[in-house]
Structure 1
Amino acid sequence: MKIFLDTADVEAIKWGVALGVVDGVTTNPTLAARAGRGFKETVLEICEICTGPVSAETVGLTAEQIIKEGRILAQWAPNIVVKVPLIAEGLKAVRQLSAEGIKTNVTLVFSPAQALLAAKAGATYVSPFLGRYDDIGQEGMQLVREIVQIFRNYNFQTEILAASIRNPLHVVEAAKAGADIATMPPKVLEQMIAHPLTDKGLTSFLKDWESVPDAKTVFAEPER
């Protein structure tokens, strides 16, 4: 499974990329507003930090507007992926942008039927929103499972990008369900790294190391 960071915080992205486990980044208008910086300058900086796919969202509501915005975004950097909402006009735009070789990420997907349409339109990625689906009393993970089954049945090349990730369990369950990607806030990646037994074990190992006879010299630089 690939891991994307869902943020417009460039410092958090630098941290994630330095770990060596972050494959891409997703952004949206809400995240851009929180960053408090210009949208274009933020996206361009993210594209420099992360060489993997970087999703940047269109805001138009007609196919013509979305296509125009998508073409502009795609010119900013070679790793830009154009985010398009799952609406009728969005599907029209995805078909055209895909025909032009522009990668797309269809977002705000809340049903297998919507995901099927996005794949048929030629989307590079489809983003089911797990947390938001859970919030209305539905099972977000079942949504992922059904999309995975449909895509496998028909050999769609569209990748399933599990979005609205709220915790490490979401990531694990999405991986078990067969999602290609999980995009998450930096705090969820931090939570995936941390475990109290790891901390306890490390403390114990370091304490025991102090009693090893050559502990102070074994890793010393050799004399030249």
Structure 2
Amino acid sequence: MNQLEALKQFSTVVADSSNIESIIQYRPKDATTNPSIILKSINLKIYQDMINNAIEYAKKQGGNKEIKIINASDKFAVNIGTEILRYIPGHISTEIDARLSFDTLSCINRAKRIIKMYKDNGIDRSRVLIKLASTWEGIQAARELEKDGIKCNLTLIFSIIQAKAAAEAKVFLISPFVGRVYDWYNDHNLISPYSVQKDQGVKLIYDIYNYYKCHGYNTIIMGASFRKKEQIIALAGCDYLTISPNFLNELKNSNEPLLRTLKNPYNTVNHNKSVPISESEFRWEHNQNPMAIEKLSEGIRTFSFDQQKLEQEMSLRI
């Protein structure tokens, strides 16, 4: 048994890719996309029909050129997601425009429009996860969407308070970014020499996992954004792990032993949950973590920048 097969015994493996060939090769249960991943697909030959379809859709919807570009970009992401769903049994995650990360109502409206696009493609909402940045506004949008039967993936999780608020909002899934936490500590020379036991990204997952299991939360924890294979191995047993094709390949080509490391440490569940987190408490606690502040802002900016580049490409075609 190779390490990828062993890992699948303990965690649900998700492909962090929109590359159809990789998805067919590694056969994950779910797949995730984001503007950066979608942008890499726009010039590949196999996606040109999807782009043309998105352009035609936007033209039929009408509106000024800006509206058409937005509609075409969302439709292209949905078309890619629809194609990916042909090859996986589970969910596809599709991300909301990061520029809406501080606007709850706009996130809700955009999410519902994306769900309708999937429905028009013959895809039931039960197979789609709407990705939202884990700002206070994004978490509140997810809370309302979940009430409406729209599952959400709260992304860019860097602090325990974000994870706690997401669980209270009863979101389907969260994505703590292991690698980006590692990047911050590495850039600040705080983990030399490196050991996975000192890796703060790995520790974040452990802290969230223990908190969720202790309090009986159903929200799925999906470790994301890995920089080292050791990080993945150290998180065997995490509910979900979303892994890029290069690490999937490394795992598949290794027959070294891989054992479960995350296990529910509690025999009983504490159902006496804490007082609901207020907005002021959320902002204050998150603000105490310089890494989380910087990485959440950076992640939103990066996804926003790639979304704008995607829209620029679309504008040349409309």
Greater relative contact order (CA < 8 Å, ≥ 6 in sequence) = 2
Give the TM-score normalised by structure 2.
0.58
State the distance in 2 between where 1:120 and 1:41 align.
32
Shift of the 190–72 alpha-carbon distance from structure 1 to 2, 3 Å rule, reads same
**2:134 is equivalent to residue 86 of structure 1:** yes
Deviation string for 1:50-88 (max 9, x for gaps)?
221111101133111111121223331221111111011
Picking from 69, 72, 77, the partner of 2:113 is: 72
Instruction: Provide structure 2 residue ranges, at least 5 long, that are not aligned to the other structure.
Output: 1-10, 48-75, 186-198, 257-318
Greater share of residues in helix: 2
State the distance in 1 between where 2:171 and 2:240 align.
15
1:153 Cα shift?
Answer: 1.8
**2:150 is equivalent to residue 102 of structure 1:** yes
Picking from 243, 248, 254, the partner of 1:184 is: 243
Picking from 167, 170, 195, the partner of 2:231 is: 170
Q: Give the counterpart letter for 2:158 in structure 1.
A: F
**2:31 is equivalent to residue 25 of structure 1:** yes
* CA RMSD, 1 decimal: 1.6
For 2:86, what is the secondary structure of its paired residue?
A: helix
Shift of the 71–135 alpha-carbon distance from structure 1 to 2, 3 Å rule, reads same
Instruction: Provide structure 1 residue ranges, at least 5 long, that are not aligned to the other structure.
Output: 198-224
State the distance in 1 between where 2:131 and 2:219 align.
14
Picking from 158, 161, 167, the partner of 1:113 is: 161
Q: Give the counterpart letter for 1:182 in structure 2.
A: L
Aligned residues: 191
Is the 8 Å Cα contact of residues 78 and 94 (structure 2) preserved in structure 1? no
**2:84 is equivalent to residue 40 of structure 1:** no
Is the 8 Å Cα contact of residues 73 and 80 (structure 1) preserved in structure 2? no
Runs ≥4 in structure 1, deviation > 6 angstroms? none
Greater share of residues in strand: 1
For 2:235, what is the secondary structure of its paired residue?
A: helix
State the distance in 2 between where 1:68 and 1:149 align.
34
Q: In structure 2, what is the equivalent of residue 51 of structure 1?
A: 89
1:196 Cα shift?
Answer: 8.1
* Identity within the alignment, %: 27
User: Over alpha carbons, which structure has the higher Rg?
Assistant: 1
Deviation string for 1:121-144 (max 9, x for gaps)?
111111100000000116100000
Q: In structure 2, what is the equivalent of residue 11 of structure 1?
A: 21
Give the TM-score normalised by structure 1.
0.81
For 1:4, what is the secondary structure of its paired residue?
A: strand
Deviation string for 1:74-126 (max 9, x for gaps)?
33122111111101110111110010111110000001111011111111111
Moved more, 166-175 or 182-191: 166-175
